[in-house]
Amino acid sequence: MQFTAAQIAALINAKVEGNPDAAISDIARIEEGRKEALSFVANPKYEHYLYETKAGIIIINETLVLERPIDATLLRVPDAYAAFAALLEKYNEVMAMGNVKKGIEQPSFIDATAQLGNDVYVGAFAYLGRNVKIGNNVKIFPHAYVGDNVVIDDDSQINAGVKIYHQCKLGKRVIVHAGTVIGADGFGFAPQGDGKYKKVPQLGNVVIEDDVEIGANTTIDRATIGSTFIRKGVKLDNLIQVAHNVEIGEGTVIASQTGISGSVKIGKRCMIGGQVGFAGHISIADGTKIGAQSGMLKPVVKEDTEYWGSPAFDFKAHLKSQVIFRNLPDLTQRIKQLEEKLNAVLVKGS
Amino acid sequence: MQFTAAQIAALINAKVEGNPDAAISDIARIEEGRKEALSFVANPKYEHYLYETKAGIIIINETLVLERPIDATLLRVPDAYAAFAALLEKYNEVMAMGNVKKGIEQPSFIDATAQLGNDVYVGAFAYLGRNVKIGNNVKIFPHAYVGDNVVIDDDSQINAGVKIYHQCKLGKRVIVHAGTVIGADGFGFAPQGDGKYKKVPQLGNVVIEDDVEIGANTTIDRATIGSTFIRKGVKLDNLIQVAHNVEIGEGTVIASQTGISGSVKIGKRCMIGGQVGFAGHISIADGTKIGAQSGMLKPVVKEDTEYWGSPAFDFKAHLKSQVIFRNLPDLTQRIKQLEEKLNAVLVKGS
Amino acid sequence: MQFTAAQIAALINAKVEGNPDAAISDIARIEEGRKEALSFVANPKYEHYLYETKAGIIIINETLVLERPIDATLLRVPDAYAAFAALLEKYNEVMAMGNVKKGIEQPSFIDATAQLGNDVYVGAFAYLGRNVKIGNNVKIFPHAYVGDNVVIDDDSQINAGVKIYHQCKLGKRVIVHAGTVIGADGFGFAPQGDGKYKKVPQLGNVVIEDDVEIGANTTIDRATIGSTFIRKGVKLDNLIQVAHNVEIGEGTVIASQTGISGSVKIGKRCMIGGQVGFAGHISIADGTKIGAQSGMLKPVVKEDTEYWGSPAFDFKAHLKSQVIFRNLPDLTQRIKQLEEKLNAVLVKGS
């Protein structure tokens, strides 16, 4: 299937610069562009590829100033990345046609008490326990385990091998990637004094609200009592640990391998890097940004601040300390020279 | 079902303060307490909720001194957390009645040579290989994989999708949460000189002793030769890495996302925070406490010490260095001033 | 089965020191050696066991100088570890005989359009989607999920519960351990300005070349467009995160729990420790060595260098700064003394 620059421009509201009849039949990364491919440049780091790529049509920001002429037809938009993403989505829809999973594959295990909505996909070897409620248009891929009394609302997608323990609730349009475990027991043990521990029963559940996406092999523990909450629109990457009774606020985004200890409350609109750790029982204000590998030991009270380091403190202050850390040998040398000079003065003066 | 304060006090050996006939039918977190709910306060950080909560009955430590009178009926015990945990367990048992998994669901795969004890649960799509031995009252949830010659002793619980490779051995009352992998090959490769590596066959197994609990999506590799040992009563959280030939001593507790390299030997009663890393082939003495995100590069010989940092050293010494790290810009400034003042002295003195 | 020192020496080209007729029937770690067992010492840290072990035959490096005589028969080779690994492999082959998985277990799900090579093993509950192509002698263990259009080439081994999303390609002799997820969606979301995010469709795939081994519960995301590449001979440990559009160069080895952000390009022959993090869009030169828990924020341009720290810089420079970090309280004390002395000089001089 071919599309012309003019057709694509109409789809994404772009201004055409160059030949509106240029046609493409594929998409490619800018550095791998071919004549018949559409590409995009949003990140200034990749602008130099504009002058090297063979891509036939390129989406760019309307503010971008060219250093020299380019063969490709350009489509200028306010936000090249968003426009390209929108286009990918349309492309995805077209490609997915006739390829959509539907119906109940066999063998699968669906308890007699489970309720299924319309247009549901249940893959082979999927397991739906007692009183499970599955909304309309939900996709449950092979090897997914949906425990007793779990509710999954409309248009959600549970990928292969996801494990959801009993009593958990998932909202609409939730996507969970393969291997993720939702609702395993929180890590709670009461020391018994004899060096042994007694398991604290974990009686709560996990509540995942609408429009959440969760990556692969992530773990979200059930609450001891009450619920672990993943609020609307949260995006979690792969291999993240969310302990019991945590709450992650609306629209917060967390990168891979971050670990959140029990009863932590993270605000809305936070952006959290990879491999960050949170100590238990702290609250993080809305809009907090946290650099990768940080260790958050204390609450963050003020909104929209930036943290970094382990233990973490103000982002810019941490950057300053880091620079000096690299120069510690110099600093030590300067102190040694001061000591020598001062001793010389003192000896001379005595 | 309703319980009075007097009934609960009898169950947990508490002293009643207030109305012994106050009745509850539910449990709740202290901050979400309602008249008909029982709650508890153990952590001093949560004491202020005592004066705000609507919970009808609250378990507290006998040593807690109230700042002002409280409406709720109080149950005083030596250890509020332990008492509440014990109560949750009784509650859990009552709630679980009539809800217990039993029998063999179909389709499941049980090799003709596998031996099953009494009162076993085998979920649909569970796989039991050749010569597998399953003890009495063991629960194997759906999608669990139990490789050839694996032994699982009485009263253990293998949750959905757990993968146990051939030859591994699990003791009594072991709980393994969903997605955890036991007995995958250790990471062993012999460099061949031409830039390529030759796989070292991993011929050992994993031995998990009684009363161990392992979280979700954790990985415990088999030994190259011999066994990787998880000793009695060890508690491992989610997403932990345990490499080949590691030994974790009795009663040690390890938080999420910690990684333990090959042939490390961790002592008894250790408490290890999240995201800690251990270099290969080191021994850690009994009773060692290690702060989150630490990097353990050297053996710990003395028992009952505390470590922190990456690389880790004495906990308190690390705390001091951290404080100065934050103030490095000040320190640099002081050195600069010293240099200026001293130069002035030298110029003047010359 | 028994083997003599002379027989083993012939297999691994060793020089016999001691009784060539000494016979063993088992292998053991040096510290657990018994008369009838073969063992080895390669790491100098373990040399002291030579004088304590009861092992009947020991493989050692030809350069090793004994401190005192040993009862065991010694087999001297240029590289004791490599020789032992080669021997284990032969042992493994012998032991595995008659124990090899073959054929199609039932129930399994093999789409009518899937193509299987010769001598394939497909375990019970394995799922092979549309147009899947499986080469000769491939082993697909129970609960593995192989999505539509996936290709797996000859002699590869897909362990229990591995999930491979549609369109991904695996080469020859690839080993993937249990629970690993290949081809889940990359973590790509376009901010919409209203605090919400729009999912960027992930249309690419993952390409894994020949002789790659991947540990348990690792995650490798598909490319947004194009491919995420794991090149020939790469070895990845457990619980590693590989984001969309990453490329890992030939022969590179990465330890557990390391996380690699989107579009990172790692060179050939790199050795990367555990729990390392890589910021997005950076390139790492061939032969780079990176210490555990490092944070790589910037590209590495020069080949064969060593990095450490978070953020990482030159390995040796980092070591120096670390040593001073431990002594920061001393350094502060020295500055304080300088200030006091200098003030005394200034007061006196005024």
Higher pLDDT, C182 or B83: C182
Q: A52 to chain C nearest CA, in Å?
A: 18
CA–CA separation, A300 and A317 (whole Å):
16
Strands C26-27 and C37-41 turn out to be: parallel
Hey, are the CB atoms on C125 and B109 less than 8 Å from each other? yes
CB contact under 8 A, B160 and A179: no
Chain C residues touching B124 at Cβ < 8 A:
none
Q: Are strands C3-4 and C23-24 parallel, antiparallel or unpaired?
A: antiparallel
Q: pTM of the full predicted structure? A: 0.89
Neighbours of chain B (3+ CB pairs under 8 A): A, C
Cβ atoms of B41 and B20 within 8 Å: the answer is no
Q: What is the dihedral of CA C137, C141, C146, C150, to 10 degrees?
A: -20
Work out the minimum CA distance from A323 to partner chain B, whole angstroms: 9
CA–CA dist A306, A277 (Å, integer): 15
Nearest partner of A262 among B43, B186, B163, judged by Cα? B43
d(CA A279, CA A291): 16
Contacts of C335 in chain A (CB under 8 A): 335
Residue among B197, B293, B310 whose CB faces C233 most closely = B197
State residue A97's pLDDT score.
Answer: 52
CA distances from A152 to A146, A205, A226 (A): 9, 14, 19
Q: What is the mean pLDDT of residues A237-246?
A: 98
Q: Which chains touch A (3 or more CB pairs under 8 A)?
A: B, C
How far is C-alpha C301 from the geometric centre of its chain's CA atoms? 24
Contact C182, C221 (CB under 8 A): no
Residue of C nearest to A39 (CA): C225
Q: For residue B106, list chain C residues with Cβ-Cβ distance below 8 A.
A: none
> Residue A201's closest CA among A190, A214, A212?
A190
- Whether C324 sits inside 8 A of A331 (CB atoms) is yes
**Cα A242 from Cα A235, distance rounded (Å):** 13
Q: How large is the average pLDDT for residues A110-136?
A: 97
CA A199 to chain centre: 32
- As beta bridge partners, residue B169 has B151, B207
Residues A316 and A303 sit within 8 Å (Cβ to Cβ): no
**pLDDT tens-digit profile of A154-193?**
999 999 999 999 999 999 999 999 999 999 999 999 888 7
Of residues C126 and B350, more confidently modeled: C126
Q: Across the interface, do A310 and C310 touch by the CB < 8 Å criterion?
A: yes
Which residue has better confidence, C165 or A36? Answer: C165
Give the model's pLDDT for residue B1. 63
pLDDT attached to residue C97: 52
- With beta carbons under 8 A apart, name residues in chain B contacting C319: none
Q: Identify each DSSP E strand in B232-326 by its residue range.
A: 235-236, 241-242, 247-248, 253-254, 259-260, 265-266, 271-272, 277-278, 283-284, 289-290, 295-296, 306-308, 313-314
At residue A166's C-alpha, the angle toward residues A161 and A172, to 5°, is 70
Answer for the pair A177, A157: CB distance below 8 angstroms, yes or no: no
CB contact under 8 A, B142 and A109: yes
Q: Quick one: B173 exposed, middle or buried, by C-beta within 10 A (0-12, 13-18, 19+)? A: middle
Q: Which chain B residue shows the shortest CA-CA distance from C158?
A: B184
Say if residue A329 is preceded by a cis peptide, omega within 30 of 0.
Answer: no
Q: What digits encode the pLDDT tens for the residues C36-63?
A: 889 999 988 888 999 989 999 999 999 9
**Which pLDDT does position C16 carry in this prediction?**
94
Give C198→chain B minimum CA distance, Å.
Answer: 29
Q: Would the CB atoms of C334 and A335 count as touching at under 8 Å? A: yes
Task: Supply the pLDDT for residue C239.
Answer: 98
The two most distant CA atoms of chain A are separated, in Å, by 98
What is the full DSSP assignment across A15-52?
Answer: EEES-TT-EESEE--GGG--TTEEEEE-SGGGGGGGGT
Alpha helix segments (H runs only) across chain A: 5-12, 80-96, 315-326, 328-349
Whole-number pLDDT of residue A94 = 65
Cβ-defined contact of C225 to A142 (cutoff 8 Å): no
Which residue carries 């067992």 as its tokens? C37
Q: Active site residue: A166, A244, A281, A318, which one? A: A244
Per residue of chain B (350 residues), give pLDDT as tens. 678 999 899 888 999 999 999 998 878 888 888 888 899 999 888 889 999 899 999 999 999 999 888 889 999 999 999 898 888 877 777 665 556 788 999 999 999 999 999 999 999 999 999 999 999 999 999 999 999 999 999 999 999 999 999 999 999 999 999 999 999 999 999 888 788 998 988 989 999 999 999 999 999 999 998 899 999 999 999 999 999 999 999 999 999 999 999 999 999 999 999 999 999 999 999 999 999 999 999 999 999 999 999 999 999 999 999 999 999 999 999 999 999 999 988 887 65
Of C143, C329, C342, the CB nearest to B145: C143
Choose the mutation target among C238, C340, C350 for the interface with B, i.e. most B CBs under 10 Å: C238
Note the pLDDT tens digit of each residue in C302-327.
999 999 999 999 999 999 999 999 99
Q: Which of C113, C241, C327, C343 to mutate to test the interface with A (most CBs of A within 10 A)?
A: C241
Across the interface, of A95, A217, A253, the residue whose CB is closest to C219 is: A217
- Among B48, B143, B166, B244, the one annotated catalytic: B244
Best of C61, C94, C236, C239 to substitute, by most chain B Cβ atoms within 10 angstroms, is C239
Q: In the predicted model, what is the mean pLDDT of chain C?
A: 93
The chain C residue lying nearest B199, using CA atoms, is: C85
Tell me how far apart the alpha carbons of residues A277 and A294 are, in angstroms, rounded to a whole number: 6
Model confidence band, residue C95 (pLDDT cutoffs 50, 70, 90): low
Predicted pLDDT at C1: 63
Alpha-carbon distances, residue A248 vs A244, B99, C256 (angstroms): 12, 31, 27
The CA distance from A71 to the nearest CA of chain B, in Å, is 43
Please report the beta strands in B103-204, taking only residues with DSSP state E, as ranges in sequence order.
Answer: 103-104, 109-110, 115-116, 121-122, 127-128, 133-134, 139-140, 145-146, 151-152, 157-158, 163-164, 169-170, 175-176, 181-184, 189-191, 197-199
The CA distance from B14 to B61, in Å, is 10
Instruction: Retrieve residue B28's tokens.
Output: 């709740």
Between strands C189-191 and C197-199, the pairing is: antiparallel
- A315-326 and B328-349 helices, crossing angle to 10°: 50
Cα–Cα distances in angstroms (integers) from residue A56 to residues A12, A18, A52, A191, B179, in the given order: 17, 11, 12, 67, 46
Place of tokens 């993937």: C176
C178 neighbourhood in chain B, CB within 8 Å: 145, 163, 165, 181, 184
Q: Hey, which residues of C are catalytic here? A: 244
| Contacts across the A-C interface (CB distance below 8 Å) | 196
Of B129, B116, B134, which is closest to residue B163 (Cα–Cα)?
B129
- In Å, how far is A70's CA from the nearest CA of chain B? 43
What is the phi/psi pair of residue C91, to 5°?
-60, -45
The C-alpha of C201 sits at a distance from chain A's nearest C-alpha, in angstroms, of 6
Cβ pair B145:C160 closer than 8 A: yes
Measured between beta carbons, the chain A residues lying within 8 angstroms of B125 are: 109, 125, 127, 143
* Cross-chain Cβ contact C239/B243 below 8 Å: no
C-alpha span between A166 and B101 (Å, rounded) = 12
Q: Which two tokens stand for residue C137?
A: 């002698």
Say whether B85 and A200 touch across the interface (CB within 8 A): yes
Contacts of A82 in chain C (CB under 8 A): 190-192, 198
The label of the residue with tokens 């390009």 reads C265
User: Taking CB atoms and an 8 Å cutoff, what residues of chain C touch B186?
Assistant: none
Instruction: Give the pLDDT confidence of C234-259 residue by residue, as tens digits.
Output: 999 999 999 999 999 999 999 999 99
**Closest-approach residue (CA) in chain A for C196:** A251
Chain C positions touching B207 (Cβ under 8 A) are: none
Residue range A11-65, pLDDT digits in tens: 889 999 999 999 988 888 888 888 888 999 998 888 899 998 999 999 999 999 9
A244 tagged catalytic? yes
Q: What angle do CA C307, C312, C317 make, to 5 degrees?
A: 65
Dist CA A166 CA A6 (whole Å): 52
| CA dist B177 → A188, B24, B56, B162, B164 (Å) | 14, 32, 34, 7, 12
Whether omega before A107 lies within 30 degrees of 0, making that bond cis, reads yes
Task: Give percent helix, percent strand, percent coil of chain B, each to the nearest 5.
Answer: 20, 30, 50
CA distance C126 to C142: 5
Report the amino acid identity of residue B338.
L
